[in-house]
Amino acid sequence: MPTDAPILVTGGAGFIGSNIADRLASEGHHVLIYDALTRPGVERNLSWLQQRHATKITPIQADVRNAADLTRAVNEAQAVFHMAAQVAVTTSMEDPRDDLEINILGTFNLLEALRQKPGTPVVFASTNKVYGDLADLDFARDGDTYVPVDDTVRAHGIGEDRPLDFHTPYGVSKGAADQYVLDYARSYGVPTAVLRMSCIYGQRQMGTEDQGWVAHFLIRALEGKPITLYGDGYQVRDILDVSNAVEAYLHAWQRIDQVKGRAFNLGGGPANAVSLRVLLAHIGDLIGREVDVSFSDWRAGDQRYFVADTRAAEAALGLSPKVAWRDGVAHLARWLATERGLNHPIGEWLTVPAE
């Protein structure tokens, strides 16, 4: 395949997919955006890409469950970033068949197309949910935050050697797809890599209560609406700015000969670990008032703590230092206020330069 052939991004109008597509097009690549355009807000991302890169973006409105359409797109591409997915745990609980068909069958369709096109690499977007609810780990409260009792987990986070333990239909479907992607490297020699993501946030994220919670919190706070926390709010996630995530995806592709057949945990790591309560306090500081919060029951499969051990990814992929979470959240708040036309007294943090 010639090196000027396009790069395929499934789910390319979504949050992370559109950021990957933007970086690729900015570097001179032609990008095929393969997206069913079913998630609210993604049309705006696609329009943004087309306006910025008119000659570099080719949209394909199609579903990954359609093997024929997907195979045609794969046959044009020199590489694939597989971001298309059903992305919400709650939605998977409501419609597990749809979740299965998109996440497992869609990934299988892609892998089968790649098997017939030897040498074409794919980098797959997996999730920390493949590790289950981590119920065997003990945690203590430290102020507004859960912390692991185990010293190694506290220092470094959850590593790739953690046993897989799929919970909820979403965890099962993404976990099965994750394992299919790795096995097609073993069984058929397809050059694949898997990134098991923690919570990614940043520009182009149209957050909802079910997915994209950092943006969702900011949107609700900026609009003066209450936020519901499921659980006690002490649960911890290592949040990662999308610019860092995009770099990891591109480096995985560029180093595919060295990392094929491997899975990496990708997140903010211990330095960017933050509880929901601490994040909401920071948002309150940004907007100049306390955020209105209520509480509800824990949701199925929710982890009280997940922080990725990112040492393997950093070593293998040669990653840049991560954006500090307070700076990244301020950047996202600025972008959301502008994007949504919100007239809000948001203070001096608005002067923080955008990425």
SS3 call for 195: strand
**Active-site residue list:** 170
Type of residue at 49: L
The Cα–Cα gap between 304 and 230 comes to: 11
* Best CA proximity match to 9, nearest among 60, 66, 67: 60
Burial (Cβ within 10 Å: 0-12, 13-18, ≥19) of residue 65: middle
The Cα–Cα gap between 54 and 76 comes to: 19
Cβ within 8 Å of residue 242, ≥6 positions away = 15, 16, 19, 200, 201, 202, 203, 204, 205
The Cα–Cα gap between 13 and 59 comes to: 9
The Cα–Cα gap between 207 and 201 comes to: 9
The Cα–Cα gap between 20 and 15 comes to: 9
CA–CA distances in Å: residue 33 to residues 36, 114, 188, 306, 330: 10, 17, 26, 31, 29
Q: Which residue has the tokens 């040492």?
A: 311
The Cα–Cα gap between 248 and 254 comes to: 10
Q: Which residue has the tokens 């333990």?
A: 165
Cα-Cα-Cα-Cα torsion 192, 83, 129, 312, nearest 10 degrees, comes to 40
